[in-house]
Amino acid sequence: MLYYAWHDGTSWPKETVDDPTRGGRDCALALDAAGRPHIGYEDSAHGDVKYAHLIDCVPVEVVTVTGPASLPAGASGLYTATYAPPSATVRLLSWDNGATGARTMYDWLLPGPHRLTATADYYCAATTGTFTVTIFCQPPSGAAIQGPGTLVPGLAGRAFTRDQGRSRVSVSPWIGHSPAPMPSGGQDSTLPARSVPREQK
């Protein structure tokens, strides 16, 4: 264990410089012009020489997240985190989706409110900011029905709908035989008519 201690006029408070598994043998201490300590020491657990110095910590007072407040299900939104004051000694901005940095993308599939969190780590502590996004289902903007306009009695035809929005709803009624799957890629198509035996009464 390596500590740094100083006299405040009445007592000797101390801070931990390195954890107990690393040790702190053969230390050398120097103070810079601002009175901040700089320490060189041996990490006896790993046989390394290390250098530690005290960083002035300017706290983050607030983290603000901005971006779309609502999104269609499955759509992506770009979100940005900023902190104040700008002089805060932030070493890392991270997000609850695992991303790091000032910006990241989010998307959700389930409708409803979702909360995202950004965290600013400023060495001596961390401050978080949250943002709520409402996810909604995107309804079709319209539909078109295609199929034969007329049919000869006893012949088969097919009709289906194709929407104009994000979701696709298809209906394929058949006359005289079982439905077949819609063509791949959702391309509009029709089936050549063919004869069907009449039912026996």
Please state the domain extents for the chain: 2-53, 62-136, 139-181
For the chain, give the percent of residues with pLDDT over 70. 71
Q: Give, as one character, the DSSP assignment of residue 124.
A: S
- Provide CB contacts within 8 A for 87, sequence distance 6+: 58
Give Dmax (Cα) for the chain.
112
pLDDT value of position 64: 97
Q: What is the mean pLDDT of the chain?
A: 78
Q: What is the number of alpha carbons within 13 Å of residue 191 lying toward its C-beta? A: 21
pLDDT greater than 70 at residue 24: no
Q: Examine the pLDDT at 136 and tell me if it is beyond 90.
A: yes
Instruction: Write down the residue that tokens 């104009």 correspond to.
Output: 164
pLDDT at 60: 93
The CATH number assigned to the domain with range 62-136 reads 2.60.40.10
Question: In the beta sheet, which residues pair with residue 78?
Answer: 105
CB 37 within 8 A of CB 31: yes
pLDDT of residue 196: 45
pLDDT of amino acid 183 = 52
Report residue 185: phi and psi, to 5°.
Answer: 85, -5
C-alpha to C-alpha distance for 91 and 70, rounded to whole angstroms: 30
Residue (of 128, 199, 134, 190) closest to 162 by Cα position: 190
pLDDT value at position 33?
Answer: 86
Q: Which long-range contacts (CB under 8 A, 24 or more apart) does 179-186 make?
A: 186/162
Residue 163's pLDDT is 53
How far, in Å, are 12, 24, 53, 77, 123 from residue 2 at the CA level? 15, 5, 13, 46, 18
The 10s digit of each residue's pLDDT in 52-107 is 888 778 899 999 999 999 999 999 999 999 999 998 989 899 999 999 999 999 99
Span 156-166, average pLDDT: 54
